[in-house]
Structure 1
Amino acid sequence: MRLKLTLSYAGFLVIAGTLLLAAVWVFLLRGRSNSLAVPERADFVRVFTPGNFGPVVFVPAGILVLAFLLVFGLVGGWILAGRMLAPLTRITDATRRVANGPLSYRIRLPGRRDEFRELADSFDAMLARLEAHVAEQERFAANASHELRTPLAVTQALLDVAGSDPHHDTGQLVARLRAVNTRAIDLTEALLLLSRADQRSFTRKHVDLSLLAEEATETLLPLAEKHGVTIETSGDMSTTTGSQALLLQMTMNLLHNAIGHNLPGQGTVWVRTGIRTDTAVLTVENTGERLTPELVSTLTEPFQRGSERLHTGHAGFGLGLAIVKSIVRAHDGALTLTPRPAGGLRVTVRLPAAPARQ
């Protein structure tokens, strides 16, 4: 690229010089009485002699000027091209360094904001997102391995105890093995749901979030009543486009999380829907323990658990809000978690509103 730019600069100078000399000949020398002749060797010697700048010596003088412009264009073009391409070279070196090393490297290109600076800044932003994503995936893999290993270890321990004691109650053993196996299956299903949401392999159609909120409330109302949690729903029709199954799972997870992390015997959950400036909004808010902003910022990571859960008969895997985040991202939405001053959590889901049907 540097050689191409150098040749381009030099060629442009030669062409510009040729046009300049042609203009001088047409407008200044053409009307003179001396006729243009083929130059001889002696003409080149007299080129710069005062009084000899006539039409006869104009051609050899022009050739010298063009030769000078060519050399000047090659040398100057090579230097200018090198200076102009220096940021691109720095970006290329950075890509090689990142490809063979840590993702923490940043270009941080100095100077005024131009095309190269914008490219470098975009590359740095991409590296930051990629580094965060890789770190999240590493934590996810480690936590998933730990969570999956736990039921397997419990199963192995139960089998070892049963093998060492022939008179052990097999009915109790089967019940415990069934419970451990059910938990392992639920965890696997949650991981598969998380993977499917990230792949965006679903058909989009109109979905009313207010209807999903009512359906989730009816489904989880017995669980809420069992633990003394009141659910209050309100809002208007809030239509978006996406997968009804995934959006229902999202709403169920939010409501189940709000019931599970609540005050025992006197908790409240508020579910609201509505449309705000071409955005479908679903808000789930619950009472509970006071949460710090630092803790809230980590709740959407897989296997992260907030406050202690109520004894809902399901210990949870710490995947509920992670699945919600994945579903919201797959629907091009935004998820906001805010701690309530009085205790508890406010979760707001913003999705693109569905266009009006024709």
Structure 2
Amino acid sequence: MQNYSPYYLLLFVCMGLMFLNALKKDKQLVHYLFVIFCGSLCMVGAQKLTAESIGQYKYLLGLLTCATCNVSWLIARALFREQNPISVRHIAFAATVAGLIIFNQTWHYLASLNSQPLLTSDLMWRLKQGVNEITLLLSSSILALSFWEAFRGYSKKTQSQKLQSVTFGSAWALAVFNASILPKFIFSAAETELYNPIIITSSALLIVFAMQGVMLLQATAANKQKLYHNNDSKTDIDDVKASCDSAHQDQVPPELIAGIDELMNEQQLFLQTNLKISDFAQALKVPEYKISRAIRYHYKVANFNLFINQYRVNYAKTLLASEQAKEWSILSIALESGFSSLATFNRVFKSIVGGIPNEYRKQKSNYNNVKTC
């Protein structure tokens, strides 16, 4: 006789994680998808536990199990793709798989009622077999795509990102092996049926915990990055580690300096509002700590924010002294120079120049008038 207690574990764990992520304040796309995924797994556990007591209605409950492997693929994209992780075509693909699962469950429900002669026709039977094959093919493809998403561009990832990829990919591989391959080697057909609750639950929880683990790793990395930008006096942890490990930390590759110079002087990237050190790292395809090290040891500037603000202030000084921009408001010059607000512009300008922008403009205007006379 089967032991259904593992399904209780699946139900309670997924329900707990579902509410934990649903109640999270700063939710992102991946959290919404994870809630849907956990909810669907809860329905899997509920369907297995109530199958004998509710009879054919278990197939109606099965309609809500349509967001498992398809949504897990969307989660993989949301976790490992930074730009445009999910588009309309991805949602359409996932919805197609969900529709096939719903068709299959509806078929079984109608067949259990034994009130639809059409279901027993040769045409409908062939349709059912075809849908089963398509569902199996698409589900297998989605499993492969989810695994591939984790390791796409692995060689270019940071150590933290590589850890996330290995965590996610290893859990997927182990779950698939545990669910489909391992039982064939160690169990007979009867034993596989007997231990099926343990097999299904352990495989599902492997994937669930891997997803939650990667989300926690990414949240930790994001918090460290936020702390770095909020406190200019503190250096990035990876930067400290890299600097300490290097015997020649003041030596910066010339090609990196050339790349930074091109971004600042030719492309004028500093005019972009809310510019981050990660934008530089992505543009130059180098780790962030190398950008930070170059700024401190080559340009002799304390941190990234000050480095960018110096360029912005110099650009603003040019505009303030320009005849073409003499009718511009200080706010317009601030925004044109890459600052996000007038208050920030005034504060940064005064800290670097020693006076506020309006005073600087008046000084330049008086100087130009005297020079003209």
Q: Indicate the TM-score class for this superposition, using the shorter chain for normalisation.
A: under 0.3
**TM-score of the superposition, structure 1-length normalised?**
0.21
Structure whose residues are more often strand by fraction: 1
Bigger radius of gyration: 1
Structure whose residues are more often helix by fraction: 2
